[in-house]
Amino acid sequence: MITDPSFYFAAIPAVLIFGIAKGGFGGGIVIVAVPLMALVVSPITAAAILLPILCVMDLMALWVFRGHWIWRELKLLVPASILGILLGALLFEYMNVHLIRLTLGTISLLYTIQYWWYQIRQSAAPQERLGSVVGITAGTAAGFTSFVAHAGAPPLSFYLLRRGMDRTSFVATATVFFWVVNYTKLIPYAWLGLLDTSNLITSLVLCPLAPIGIALGKWLHDRVSDSFFFNFFYITLFILGCKLTWDGIVGLQFI
């Protein structure tokens, strides 16, 4: 088990951030969790420690948002995500974490800028429903980026936020999606030797934070309007997009 106190100063906020997001508030903020933990351990170790905790959180979130998910979206997104996870496992040893961060950051920035531009112009375009091809692409990208750094929220949000659903249906659908994705990821993570005894014991120590984070997220979810929720989501996505883009550019310069 990891015993360095500095690790827990980073890991405890990271786990709570995931819990708050899975409890229904500000899903995009999860992107910051792995980079936060990566300040004290490698990103791969951070992702491995977080995965069992996320699996516990997913079960809690499924109960909280039971019956509110949209099956027609999941039937398109979930099979595509399995392909993304498979690609992640096959390309694992060749991955460039900095390039992935740059890609995620760019997607997040372009999407939020586009949304705000149409809002200023009072266009109906932000409410247009994206087609199935975009859904398959988003599902595959979300599976891949979730495998790499539990960062599947931006690609998934890019699609779901344009499907005209309320915040509860949005969160519930994302919950089922990541429940399937995270439990599927256990197989390649174990195959790659990432779920070793040290990581699993550390996950167990952090696990009691899961219900606390979920409860905080649900409390916030029940007390904000749709308008506030989505505005918060877009602002968060933009800030994290800036951070990921900067980190990716800086990281690539030192390769």
Averaged pLDDT for residues 63-68? 89
**Average pLDDT, rounded, for the chain:** 83
**Highest mean pLDDT: which range of 64-73, 81-90, 243-252:** 81-90
Mind spelling out the 3-state secondary structure of 5-39? HHHHHHHHHHHHHHHHHHCCCCHHHHHHHHHHHCC
Q: Are 219 and 20 in contact (CB under 8 A)?
A: no
pLDDT digits (tens, 9 = 90+) for 84-132: 999 999 988 777 767 767 876 787 787 778 777 767 765 544 455 667 8
pLDDT digits (tens, 9 = 90+) for 177-232: 999 999 999 999 999 998 999 899 999 999 999 999 999 888 888 887 767 776 77
Please, which pLDDT band fits residue 33 given cuts at 50, 70 and 90?
A: confident
In the chain, where are the structural domains located? 5-253
**What is the Cα–Cα distance from 209 to 23, expressed in whole angstroms?**
13
| Contacting residues for 97 by C-beta, under 8 A, at least 6 apart | 43, 148, 149, 251
Q: Is the pLDDT of residue 16 over 70?
A: yes
Q: Is the pLDDT of residue 164 over 70?
A: yes
- Residue whose pair of structure tokens reads 């309007």 in the numeric block: 225
The C-alpha R_g of the chain, in whole angstroms, comes to: 17
**What is the Cα–Cα distance from 78 to 81, expressed in whole angstroms?**
5
Q: Are 97 and 43 in contact (CB under 8 A)?
A: yes
